[in-house]
Structure 1
């Protein structure tokens, strides 16, 4: 489930806000983002991230005793099993604590933090797409210039001059060595 397809949430739907918060936390986790972008989990890496979002949501719903350490263990295990990534930078603990804090907020009906995260994520996505569009525009402009330059040069021969001759010192051929029995010694080439 990508965050762009997140439906508009009902004003007081705590479970939906928690799902959104989990999705945002995992999409903002650099280790998982790199693993997905690099397809370390195979061609279905994005689907695995979406599955992880749902699995965490389900775990928090079905096992309310879950704490940040349990969640950290799950994150580390999934990264290792599904993406072949060993997390040793404490980032899984940070993400786990962030998700557990969001759960506490949503349990109290406080959704402002998740709403702020969603707005920041949308702004970041818009900036990325604007940057990508600018890059494409500049890249297309460069291609137009190259074709103009190439068409100016077509049909024209450029004088390169003569290349310098390769100079090598002549090799001295080694005389074969003949031992006392009349056999020729074989030497290794260097």
Structure 2
């Protein structure tokens, strides 16, 4: 399931768990950066979607799965699929969150997941509005560049820049000591 879809949230415990996994992974900064930067190649977004499904399957098929197992999977996938070494404990935090949300779905408590969904929808709307604003600004910049390029035909004669004169460097004569040796002086002390 893609967290960016505008479909309503889940209706049963399994669907809520899938939604929770998807939201947790889509909110994980390390994975988000890896996907946005295409560190997993051009199919980075597909790899994230695959990871969501793989975690859901793992939690449904192996009841003994705990947060440590899940953290190991997250770290391994980030390393193997995205060439990212996660050493900031964020994989453990994501694993803990997913396991807590799993426990809530088992108890029939869906409020936290619904809240996460609501926050995700708000952020998506803000990102969309910001992208639209960026496009508007970008098109205005292009219009200004077009206006400026029309003015390029009338060049203004600037003249020659004034010459900059440097004072000639003084040549430092080597010092010769009483024994006839030349004293070496660093450039800084000259």
**TM-score w.r.t. length of structure 2:** 0.81
Paired with 2:8 and 2:125, the residues of 1 have a C-alpha distance of 18
CA-CA distance at 1:139 after TM superposition: 1.8
CA-CA distance at 1:10 after TM superposition: 5.1
Q: Show the counterpart of 1:171.
A: none
Encode CA deviations 1:39-86: one digit per residue, 9 max, x unaligned: 111111111100100000000000011110110011001111111110
Paired with 1:148 and 1:73, the residues of 2 have a C-alpha distance of 57
Q: Show the counterpart of 1:159.
A: 157
Q: Show the counterpart of 2:76.
A: 77
**TM-score w.r.t. length of structure 1:** 0.81
Aligned residues, how many? 167
Paired with 2:79 and 2:142, the residues of 1 have a C-alpha distance of 43
Cα contact 1:26–1:95 (8 A) shared by 2: yes
Cα contact 1:6–1:20 (8 A) shared by 2: no
SS of aligned partner of 1:109? coil
CA-CA distance at 1:140 after TM superposition: 1.3
Q: From the superposition, tell whether residues 114 and 145 of structure 1 become closer, same or farther in structure 2 (CA, over 3 Å).
A: same
Paired with 2:41 and 2:118, the residues of 1 have a C-alpha distance of 30
CA-CA distance at 1:7 after TM superposition: 4.2
Q: From the superposition, tell whether residues 43 and 144 of structure 1 become closer, same or farther in structure 2 (CA, over 3 Å).
A: same
Q: Aligned Cα RMSD in Å? A: 2.0
Higher alpha-carbon deviation: 86-95 or 136-145: 136-145
Q: Show the counterpart of 1:26.
A: 25
1:1-190 matches, within 5 Å, as 1-5=1-5, 7-9=7-9, 11=11, 13-151=12-150, 153-164=151-162
Cα contact 1:18–1:57 (8 A) shared by 2: yes
In structure 1, list runs of 5 or more residues that go unmatched: 169-190
CA-CA distance at 1:156 after TM superposition: 1.2
